[in-house]
Amino acid sequence: MPVVMDADRMGRTLTRIAHEIVERNRGVDHLALVGVRTRGVPIASRLASRLHDITGRDVPVGALDITLYRDDLMHNPVGPQPVVRSTDIPFSIDDRVIVLVDDVLYTGRTVRAALDELIDFGRPQAIQLVVIVDRGHRELPIKADYVGKNLPTSRAESVSVRLAETDGRDEVVIEKDPGEDAS
């Protein structure tokens, strides 16, 4: 179970991404962060606090649960429905630059769902994408604007971003997926 990013490195990565966000947007006016549940949300909060450290300004943070927008929801007649959690976007997204935050970018299907859901909340000026790990294997024409680490993987592997808030510690690990042989 190789660790490809430890806590120190993850901290530096988030700081670097925060600086890139400020540089690219020439500040943080009209900016808002939206984390994709589950792990995108704490990452978005951490980025918000770094953006505050850099610019002295507060950037609003929202949470998006994309379950009801998944493209596989009604294509799987057996099996239970995935658990839905709350979406919470306590600000207008109209004319803001929305920085969407997720842990791993893989097929791109989550991001597709997140884009569709965001558009139902209004018309942002732009949407940018932050991911901690881009592991390749895209199935949709989607690309991240800010990437913590590009990690070439095989489909038989799985990449887990673990966070202190949800998993007790910060690290990124790559492991052989035990479920892969079974299917």
Partner 1 sequence: MNADTTRPTPAAPASPSDGSPIPANRLRGKDLVGIAELSVEEITLILDTALAMKEISSRPIKKVPALRGKTVVNLFFEASTRTRTSFEIAEKRLSADTLNIAASTSSVVKGETLADTVHNIEAMSPDLLVVRHSSSGSCHFLSRICRAGVINAGDGMHEHPTQALLDAFTIRERKGRLAGLKVAICGDLLHSRVLRSNLLLLTKMGADVWLCGPPTLIPAGFAQSGVHVTSSVDEAVEGADAVMMLRIQLERMLGGFFPSLREYFNVFGMTQDRVRRAKPDVLIMHPGPMNRGVEISSDVADGPYSVILDQVANGVAVRMAILYLLSGGAEHEAVA
Provide the binding-site residues for partner 1, judged by CB under 8 A. 36-38, 65-70, 73-74, 76-88, 102-111, 116-117, 120-122, 135, 155, 158-160, 177, 179-180, 182-183
Say how many Å lie between the first and final Cα of the chain, rounded.
21
Q: Which of 132, 120, 51 is nearest to 89 (CA)?
A: 120
Minimum Å distance from CB 87 to partner 1?
5
Residue nearer to partner 1 on the CB measure, 56 or 152: 152
- Phi first, then psi, for residue 24 (nearest 5°) are -65, -35
Minimum Å distance from CB 23 to partner 1?
26
For residue 28, give both structure tokens.
């943080």
Minimum Å distance from CB 176 to partner 1?
10
Question: Is-contact 63 37, C-beta < 8 A?
Answer: yes
Minimum Å distance from CB 46 to partner 1?
18
Residue nearer to partner 1 on the CB measure, 19 or 123: 123
- Phi first, then psi, for residue 162 (nearest 5°) are -110, 140
